[in-house]
Each structure stands twice: as structure tokens, then as C-alpha cells.
Amino acid sequence: MTCLQLKQIREALVYGAANIFKGPLSHINKITVPEWAADELRRNPAAELWQIHFSGKEAAGPAVHEILPQSMGPVLEEYLMQHRRLLAGDNDPGTLFLNKRGGALGARQLTALVGELTASFGSCRMTPTMIRELFSLCRAAGKAHDYYTLSRVLGHDCMGTMKSNRPFRQD
């Protein structure tokens, strides 16, 4: 699974030109199909699966197209059908996540929200950037020299290219 960037999470659309959608799997794009999804597609080739898709332009790097984990489907459907509609009101921005006024989340708002949630339900406060760094360190732990795969999973355009000049934290 790709580790999405903060901007992709904030700007993910659920309506119109949706980045997060439920639909049949496109055979044009080559994507990794988890075993549970392969079983579902064997039973019903026209099955609709929750997917995420960002073009190369939207991702500012390699295109992202993946099937969401099976456990996210029911939670996402409940949020979209029951809760999000109430939060958005009349001026729906179309983004998946909303701020307290029903608009799209800003970068600081998402960082604060993730920090509050990780502090409340985890053992420490973490930001989305810290989570991406931890993901990359855990992913690289068993594959010390596989920087190309790691750069692709993190959505970097080229091997070793970072959006910022800040190195990974190793503490």
C-alpha cells in the first residue's frame, strides 16, 4: 500500500472526479490485488471495490491506484452515508475530510487532528509526517538497500528525491 502524502489526504475527493470511490476494478491499470479482493473478484468479476486513485499530476509523482483495505469499506460507507452529509451542510467542498465549519481541512488542521487522535488513542502524539517517516523506517528495516521500492511507496518522483531537503529522522 502506498503511504499517501498530507496534501493527497486533505484533497481527496469523494464526489465528481473522485479519488476515493467504490467501483469495478479497471483492467487498464496494473495494481496489486489483495487476496480478499481476488477471492471477491473470482466470485463476482463485476464486484465493486473501494479504491483510491491519484493521477501522476495529482500525486506530483507516480500515479497511485490501489484497493483500500477490506476493513475500511464499511467504516467509510457509514461515514459517507450518515455522518459526512451532516457535517458538510449546503456548501460541500467534495473532499473526504471536513473541518468544523464543513469546509476542506487545511494542513495545520489535519496535523492537529491526527496529533489529537494519536495522543488520545495511542501512547504518544504523532503527526502525519512522523507517521510517514515511521512507515518508511519500518518498511526499510528488512530491506536495507531497496531505496527504489521505498521511494515508490512514499510517492516520490525519483529514487531518493524528497519533497523537502529534510532528512529522515532516525531517533
**pLDDT at residue 147, rounded to an integer:** 64
SS (H, E, C) 2-25: CCCCHHHHHHCECCCCCCEEEEEC
What's residue 130's pLDDT? 84
Q: Mean per-residue pLDDT for 120-133?
A: 86
Beta bridge mates, 50: 22
Region for 94 from its dihedrals, namely left if φ exceeds 0, alpha if ψ lies in -120 to 50, beta otherwise: left
CB-based contact 107:6 (threshold 8 Å): yes
Q: What is the pLDDT of residues 13-52, one digit of tens each?
A: 998 889 999 999 876 667 889 999 999 999 999 999 999 9
What pLDDT was estimated at residue 171? 42
Q: Is 42 helix (H, G, I), strand (E, B) or coil?
A: helix
For residue 146, the model assigns a pLDDT of 63
Q: Does the pLDDT value for residue 62 go beyond 50?
A: yes
Nearest to 52 by CA among 36, 37, 31: 31
Which range in 21-35, 67-81, 142-156 is most confidently predicted, on average pLDDT? 67-81
Domain edges within the chain: 6-153
